[in-house]
Amino acid sequence: MKTVIISDNRDTFLGMRLAGIGGYYVEEPGLVADALNEAAKDPDVGIVLITERCAGMIPDLIFDTKKKKLFPLITIIPDRHGYKAGRSKITSYISEAVGL
Amino acid sequence: MMNVNPTRMELTRLKRRLSTAERGHKLLKDKRDEMVRRFMEYIRKNKKLRQEIDEKLAAAMSRFSTAQAVMGESEVAEALLCPAREAKIKVGKQNIMNVDVPTIRFSVEENKADLPYGFAFTSAELDQSVLDMSDLLPLLIELAETEKICNMLADEIEKTRRRVNALEHIMIPEMQETIKYISMKLEDNERGNITRLMKVKEMVTEDAM
């Protein structure tokens, strides 16, 4: 299986290319969604890395894809300025599940 | 309270059901506690990984920017035109408290130090950032795995929690109440019978005298 990156940031995209991760370089929400759907459909894709900004454009689609399917795994990565929203999404998910 | 006939058979049946429910409740509670424990472990791991990636990625990116500045954007793009190597992963399965979670391993085959371009027109910064990124890759993959495990465990914990609560707050009290109702009804019948017997006995002795 392979890993792909969806990035709105040229540096991150090229950086991942350095590590041998191919992917999509997209900037508009519609194209981000298309890229994610395409990656989700491909059975050979194991992990989708997506930059935080991209993920912020289509939060619902990401959440749905995460919940519905076992693969691919979607991981949000920071761009070079680090995480912005912190871990809000996963933190809220945790508190919902554990009831803390 | 359940809608049942107050009979002895029903009582025995209910008592059996209650003991099963109580045992199930205890087991589910244990399962939930253990899952939460495991979950916390993964959450902690996730947090640590994230911080690590955050730092390392920032460092690698800034180095990459330097490389771009030194070499020029088009040269960098050209050097990286041929995708280095594919980041291959192996996917397995692991069972955590009856939840099938994926495990992902980075399959390292190639030599870490091989760079996908010639050295003539590229800078040392580019080499270093390529190596940085390769170092980062296993971390990213581990993060993906941990995150998925967290999500799946969270779902399962929620389900278990619902079951535990349903048993604890609805099923078990309901059954206990029904059992109480039936035994009271049965006792009442018993008392009625005894009174009736005593009355009959009285009448019979009165007749005989």
pLDDT at A62: 75
Confidence check: pLDDT of A88 > 70 = no
Name the closest residue on chain A to residue B117, using Cα atoms: A18
Could you tell me which chain B residue has the CA closest to the CA of A1? B89
**Per-residue tokens: B82:** 């041929």
Work out how many CB contacts closer than 8 A connect A with B: 129
Residue, of A59 and B183, whose pLDDT is higher: B183
The answer to whether residue B84 scores a pLDDT higher than 70 is no
For the CA atoms of chain B, what is the radius of gyration? 35
Q: How far is CA A87 from the centre of its chain?
A: 14
Does B147 touch chain A if contact means CB atoms closer than 8 Å?
yes
Q: Is the minimum CB–CB distance between B43 and chain A shorter than 8 Å? A: yes
Q: Where are the domains of chain B?
A: 8-203
Q: What domain range is A42 assigned to? A: 2-98
Task: Characterize the bridge pairing of strands A22-25 and A73-77.
Answer: unpaired
pLDDT digits (tens, 9 = 90+) for B54-71: 888 888 878 878 877 877
How many distinct structural domains can be found in chain A?
1
Mean pLDDT, range B34-52, rounded to an integer:
86
Reported CATH class of domain B8-203: mainly alpha
ipTM score: 0.73
Residues 57-76 of A with CB under 8 A from B: 66-67, 70-71, 73-75
- Please indicate if any CB of chain B lies within 8 Å of the CB of A3: yes
Q: What gap in Å lies between CA B50 and CA B93, rounded to an integer?
A: 23
C-alpha torsion angle, residues B112, B80, A43, B43 (rounded to 10): 60
List the CATH number of the domain containing A33: 3.40.50.10580
A25 token code pair:
């370089």
Rounded CA-CA distance B69/B81 in Å is 18
Better-predicted residue by pLDDT, B117 or B151 = B151
